[in-house]
Amino acid sequence: MLDIVIRIALLCCSLAMLGLIYRVIKGPSTADRVIALDAIGVNLVAITALFSMIRKSSTFLEVILLIGILAFIGTVAFAKYLERGEIIENERNR
């Protein structure tokens, strides 16, 4: 029973990914793409979690955490880049 549920969930996630990738490719502005990318990251978390359930393994929990952190950092970096034009500001400003 659980197995079928997981598979349905995976299918949903994949469809969501496809939609998001469409947005990444198409996305009229960069901000659209970045948000799509962030959502892809969240989707990846879900897919990895579902996967470790299928594999009945706990080794991928670290991957889930890492994706979470990276998606956050990446989105922040992108956001800063879009706003300021650079990610790490140069204090000395030569």
Partner 1 sequence: MSLLHLAIVSPLLLAIFIPFFYKYINRVHTGWFVLPLPILLFGYFLSFLPKTANQKTIMETLSWIPSLGINFTAKVDGLGLLFALLITGIGGLVVLYSIFYLAKDKEKLNTFYVYLLLFMGAMLGVVCSDNLIVLYAFWELTSFSSFLLIGYWYGRDKSRYGAQKSMLITVFGGLAMLGGIILLYIMTGTFSITEIISKSAGIFENPLFIPALLCILLGAFTKSAQFPFYIWLPDAMEAPTPVSAYLHSATMVKAGIYLVARFTPVFGESGLWFWLVGGVGLLTLIWGSVFAVKQTDLKGILAFSTVSQLGLIMSLLGVGAAALHFESLDDNIFTVAVTAAIFHLINHATFKGSLFMAAGIIDHETGTRDIRRLGGLMHIMPVTFTISIIGAFSMAGIPPFNGFLSKEMFFKAMVQVTKSDLFNLETVGILFPIIAWVASVFTFVYSMVLVFRTFTGKYQPEKLEQKPHEAPIGMLISPIILVALVIVFGLFPNLLSQSLISPAMSAILGSGEGFDVHISFWHGFNTELFMTIGVVALGFLLFKTTRKWTKLYGSLPEKLTLNRFYDQLVERAQTGAGKLTNTYMTGAIRSYLVYIFAFFIVILSVTLIWKNAFTVDTINRSPIGIYEIVLVLFIVVGSISILFAKSRMTSIILLGSVGYTVSLFYVLFRAPDLALTQLVIETISVALFLVCFYHLPKLRKHETRMRFRLTNAMISIGVGAIVAAIALSAHSSKQFQSISQYYVENTYEKAAGKNMVNVILVDFRGFDTLFEITVLAIASLGIYGLIKLRSNRGEKSEGK
User: Using CB under 8 A, which of 5, 14, 46, 56 touches partner 1?
Assistant: 14
Q: Is 85 helix (H, G, I), strand (E, B) or coil?
A: coil
Measured N-to-C along each axis, helices 2-26 and 30-55 cross at an angle, to the nearest 10 degrees, of 160
Q: Is 23 in the site for partner 1 (CB under 8 A)?
A: no
Residue 58-77 contact track with partner 1, rule CB under 8 A, x = bound: -xx-xx--xx--x--xx--x
How far is 36 from 32, CA to CA, in rounded Å? 6
* 6 burial via Cβ count (<10 Å: 0-12, 13-18, 19+): middle
Binding residues for partner 1, rule: CB under 8 A, are 10, 14, 17-18, 21, 24-25, 30, 33-34, 37, 40-41, 44, 47-48, 51-52, 55, 57, 59-60, 62-63, 66-67, 70, 73-74, 77-78, 81, 85-87
